[in-house]
Chains A and B, each alone.
Chain A
Amino acid sequence: MIINHPLLGPRDSAEFTYLGDASLIERPDWQAEDAADQFHDYLYLRDNPAGEHRELWFHEQGDRSWLVVTRNTLTHEITKVELARDVARSLGRSR
């Protein structure tokens, strides 16, 4: 596969390390009343869709960016690649 890195252009996916569902960005609040349940769902449960999947890739053999790649798990077609940091900010994550 080829991942079109937003800063570096097309790169072979072998340069990257895969983590998983981009929902891992949305780490729950540790002080929430149901934090234990929230963390369980966050860490362990997955939509695991057959189709479009937003997922985290780390450019390990490159610039060390974490990317959010939108990829179809049935066809492997990649339709979008974003810097994970931008995605995190757009989800309201900050400090």
Chain B
Amino acid sequence: MRYSLLKILAEGLKGNTGWTPVWRNPEPREAYDVVIVGAGGHGLATAYYLAKEFGITNVAVLEKGWLGSGNIGRNTTIIRSNYLLPGNEPFYEFSMKLWEGLEQDFNYNAMVSQRGIINLYHNDGQQAAYLRRANAMRMAGADAVMLSQDEVRRLCPFLDFDNARFPIKGGLMQPRGGTVRHDAVAWGYARGADERGVDIIQNCEVTGFQIEDGVCRGVETSRGKISAKKVAVCVAGSSSRVMSLAGMRLPIESHVLQAFVSEGLKPTIPGVVTFGAGHFYVSQSDKGGLVFGGDLDGYNSYAQRGGLPVVEDVCEGGMAVMPMIGRARLLRGWGGIMDMSMDGSPFIDRTSIDGLYFNGGWCYGGFKATPASGFTYAHLIARDEPHPVAAAYRLDRFQRGAMIDEKGMGAQPNLH
């Protein structure tokens, strides 16, 4: 079913009785060409691009819970390609370009909204680091603008310029950055993949891998064995748990990241703003909620909940940079499990087991990567060679010393 304004008008006039399910709920078949483990954003995008770009449609996506239940459904919805390093920036810019045509591509309004993202800086060192980054972005074909203090003030007059502990000196802006309605991304990809014949099987937990002579031939699930020529794991947040079923240890720790949303408010914050002297970033959703977050709680956790100190720390950052939000109320907070990798960058790679592929380690930056991750993972699965923009995301990079460490924090996941 194709969605359009006309369709809405026609359906509205006949009582909205003609809408059909967005996806099927198929029973798993015995065998597929490709089984994707995890129907989060990346898994669904992978299935979509496998079908659409690489013509592989005999695909199942297995999901333990409901589709879109991972971090795609719990994040602060920001998209940007303001990375620094050559291993990252072309990948995220590729993702940005995919975002820019996504809705027309999968015929679903995911509310890709390029209202801009501003990273504030507060001292000369930060300014230099952001100029370096801005230039890296421009050299990778992305957009980047250095803003003076006056320019920041013009765009965001509500920031604290006069009474700040760490005065705002300027900002790095990516005008094409913005936000996307996160659930709609999962639903759009699911719908697009389903339309092309992909089986999305919810409530189907992978409990093991069928590995014979170093070759992966399928998976065991809570709904029986499913054979596959290729098995592609895509379960960020649970990567270590799932890959341990194949006997692998990963350069990943699971950490909790909290995010928050305020009550609905009339439009007050234009794009995305990040504070450079504390842990706080914010945007405002189309429904009016301030969507904001900060730093990791900092300890390994699968509990999907955070502690009070970080809530307070994040709000302190918020009040320090924009004291007008004091009377806005925090409505809801949640804690998601992050696949924190050892250098803060992800993996899209084959594994030491033939036929078993791995995608994970997205830290807290997986949402913006969803289209590119799906596309390049599909490329890897279909062609058995990495897509050029994702070539650096290898599992063996620590052995070689080829870390992609944007923050320069080294092998300590909670600092990335």
Contacts and interface: CB of A to CB of B under 8 A. Distances in A.
B402 interface: no
Nearest to A41: B249
Interface in B203-252: 240-241, 244, 249-252
Interface string A1-41: 10000000000111000111100000000000000110011
Given A20-B412, A44-B342, A50-B254, A76 B301 contact: yes
Contacts, number: 68
A36 B299 CA distance: 27
A48 B414 contact: no
Contact of B253 (A1, A20, A40, A71): A20
A74 interface: yes
Interface residues of B, number: 24
B115 to A, nearest CB: 35
Interface in B278-324: 298-303, 307, 309
A37 B240 CA distance: 20
Nearest to A19: B412
A18 B298 CA distance: 7
B300 A73 contact: yes
A43 B298 CA distance: 18
B300 A40 contact: no
Contact of A48 (B250, B399, B411): B250
A46 B250 contact: yes
Contacts of A45: 249-251
What does DSSP make chain B's interface, helix, strand, loop or mixed?
mixed
A70 B123 CA distance: 40
Contact of A20 (B241, B398, B413): B413
Contacts of A94: none
Contact of A40 (B240, B303, B399, B412): B399
Contact of A47 (B240, B301, B309, B342): B240
Contacts of A19: 412
A29 to B, nearest CB: 19
Nearest to A1: B307
24 contacts: A1-B307, A13-B309, A18-B299, A20-B412, A20-B413, A21-B253, A21-B300, A37-B399, A40-B399, A43-B342, A43-B411, A44-B251, A44-B398, A46-B240, A46-B250, A46-B251, A47-B240, A48-B250, A48-B252, A50-B240, A55-B300, A74-B302, A75-B303, A76-B303
Interface of B: 240-241, 244, 249-254, 298-303, 307, 309, 342, 398-399, 411-414
